[in-house]
Amino acid sequence: MAQEDIFKKVVSHCKEYGFVFPSSDIYDGLGAVYDYGQNGVELKNNIKQYWWQYMVLLHENIVGLDSAIFMHPTVWKASGHVDAFNDPLIDNRDSKKRYRADVLIEEQIAKYDEKIEKEVNKARKRFGDAFDEQKYRETSPRVQEEAAKRDTLHKRYQEVMNAPGGIDLEGMKQIILDEGIVCPISGTKNWTDVRQFNLMFKTEMGAAAEGASTIYLRPETAQGIFVNYLNVQKTGRMKIPFGIAQIGKAFRNEIVARQFIFRMREFEQMEMQFFVKPGTELQWFDEWRNRRMAWHQALGFGSENYRFHDHDKLAHYANAATDVEFKMPFGFKEVEGIHSRTNFDLSQHAKYSGKKIEYFDPDENISYTPYVIETSIGVDRMFLSVICHSYDEEQLPDGQTRTVLHLPAALAPVKLAVFPLTKKDGLPEKAREIIDELKFHFNCKYEEKDQIGKRYRRQDAIGTPFCVTVDNQTLEDNTVTLRFRDTMEQQRVNISELRGIIEDKVSITSLLKNLK
């Protein structure tokens, strides 16, 4: 199935099975805002748990925080967001569609990369085992030609993004014209100039008569951590290196909101700021790069689906930055950013607040402003990567197709579904008895409607890893049929064995153990 078709199916599956609904659905939705339904909220909570437990439980020197969404307006002046949290936008006059100019150029670079990969793949097929990939890349005239175009474009892009007075907007437009980039809707090159657009949402606090002040909905959770650095360090008696982790909502007035929950205007972040001694930050950057990749890969989706993308343009605060990208149906895309933020944020807050924000190192008897390594991951993007990877339409030997979510059991919304074979003879009561015992340990669901086959399909569609059927034999010997989602294998087991078989496999700990 084509990748775009898979993506469309995932989106409608999410709605049909109570994972994700458009916000205010009965009013036809609100652009790039979504609600999580009965199954979505469970999956989302499990993802958050997996992150929180890894960060806060497994790291003795990382503690949590839950800071408010509203913050003093000066925070955003100090952080640079009021002046510089902009995206360069460009409109196509014919289609009236708006684009991010940097994204149009990055997509063009990716097109050259794709052409190169296509050539290499063709040659690989042609030469078979004798294929020397490196030599081919170095000598093939077609690869060389595309690589030269790519490198020239890449260099120009870096120059405009890192221009001394801020992004060179005219230079960006010129690249778009020179590369002949067209609007995918109108197919024309009738572009406006490139303009900067601030992504923060504004609102007012207090009644206007009392002198209301403009405040912002936070565009990242990180600043809540920075302004609490002293509070946490002092009250927690934290010694450097240490980290503060937080999960919470963030808001960005995105210019182009596409691709479902990939780019939302209200979304959720899981951020951790790790405070280190100046001069050690690049070692810590590498360390967190590795740890975060290991966390992603412990889900078992295959290392070929992940890659790092080092940034061409470093944010004004960073001295190193990389993204963890995941292979979505629409290509490799950023799921998490890892940034070495220097001491920029703490120094800025010290300057604007007039407070001394430093760390006194008792061993070396010196004070300094700590440097920071940030790991920042979007819950919703993580959710999307998990659900896209897990979605499958399987052809069964009897010719039927089953739609199944091969979710990691620890992330699945429901862990065990219990079915009475019929609605009589005391089978429903027996099924309820099983649930009443197991519901304290993991999420169980009772289902008695329709034939067993249909009930299995409904559970497959939401990724339930285990189903149990209670039949008349159960009443005699306390055994049930246990059915496994991925293999569809069925086993007869005693009710007393169920907890032992299931609990370990569905716990977040089972994922964390992969990280050892």
Which residues of the shown chain bind ligand ATP in the complex (CB under 6 A)?
Answer: 220, 252, 254, 263-264, 267, 269, 334-337, 376-378, 380-381
CB 38 within 8 A of CB 52: no
Looking at beta carbons only, is 326 or 466 nearer to ligand ATP?
Answer: 326
Q: How far is the CB of 470 from ligand ATP (least distance, A)?
A: 42
Tokens of 135: 């030599």
Looking at beta carbons only, is 166 or 187 nearer to ligand ATP?
Answer: 166
Measured distance CA(186)–CA(95) in Å, rounded = 5
The residue with tokens 């009644």 is: 207
Looking at beta carbons only, is 307 or 458 nearer to ligand ATP?
Answer: 307
Looking at beta carbons only, is 146 or 325 nearer to ligand ATP?
Answer: 325
CB 65 within 8 A of CB 232: yes
Looking at beta carbons only, is 241 or 337 nearer to ligand ATP?
Answer: 337
Looking at beta carbons only, is 105 or 482 nearer to ligand ATP?
Answer: 105
Looking at beta carbons only, is 252 or 389 nearer to ligand ATP?
Answer: 252
Cα 285 to the center of its chain, rounded Å:
19
45: CB partners within 8 A, 6+ apart: none
Q: How far is the CB of 510 from ligand ATP (least distance, A)?
A: 25
Q: How far is the CB of 308 from ligand ATP (least distance, A)?
A: 13
Number of H helices, E strands in the chain: 18, 23
CB 333 within 8 A of CB 308: no
**What percentage of the chain's residues is helix, strand, coil (to nearest 5)?**
45, 25, 30
Q: How far is the CB of 250 from ligand ATP (least distance, A)?
A: 7
Element housing 297 (H / E): helix 281-297
Q: How far is the CB of 148 from ligand ATP (least distance, A)?
A: 27
CA-based nearest residue to 419, from 368, 482, 349:
482
CB 217 within 8 A of CB 76: no
Angle at 321 (CA atoms; ends 52, 80), nearest 5 degrees = 90
Q: How far is the CB of 161 from ligand ATP (least distance, A)?
A: 13
Looking at beta carbons only, is 335 or 421 nearer to ligand ATP?
Answer: 335
Amino acid found at 36: Y
Q: How far is the CB of 322 from ligand ATP (least distance, A)?
A: 11
CB 222 within 8 A of CB 344: no
Q: How far is the CB of 307 from ligand ATP (least distance, A)?
A: 14
CA-based nearest residue to 485, from 404, 410, 392:
404
Measured distance CA(386)–CA(238) in Å, rounded = 35
Looking at beta carbons only, is 91 or 336 nearer to ligand ATP?
Answer: 336
Tokens of 61: 């020197």
Measured distance CA(493)–CA(469) in Å, rounded = 11
Q: How far is the CB of 319 from ligand ATP (least distance, A)?
A: 15
3-state secondary structure 342-392: ECHHHHHHHHHHCCCCCEEECCCCEEECCEEEEEEEEHHHHHHHHHHHHEE
Looking at beta carbons only, is 65 or 264 nearer to ligand ATP?
Answer: 264
The residue with tokens 């999580």 is: 36
Tokens of 429: 């009561």
Q: How far is the CB of 482 from ligand ATP (least distance, A)?
A: 37
Looking at beta carbons only, is 272 or 444 nearer to ligand ATP?
Answer: 272
Looking at beta carbons only, is 378 or 428 nearer to ligand ATP?
Answer: 378
CB nearest ligand ATP: which residue?
Answer: 378
Cα 211 to the center of its chain, rounded Å:
39
Strands 359-361 and 366-368: antiparallel
CA-based nearest residue to 511, from 271, 301, 269, 285:
301
Q: How far is the CB of 262 from ligand ATP (least distance, A)?
A: 6
Tokens of 321: 């930055």
Q: How far is the CB of 263 from ligand ATP (least distance, A)?
A: 4
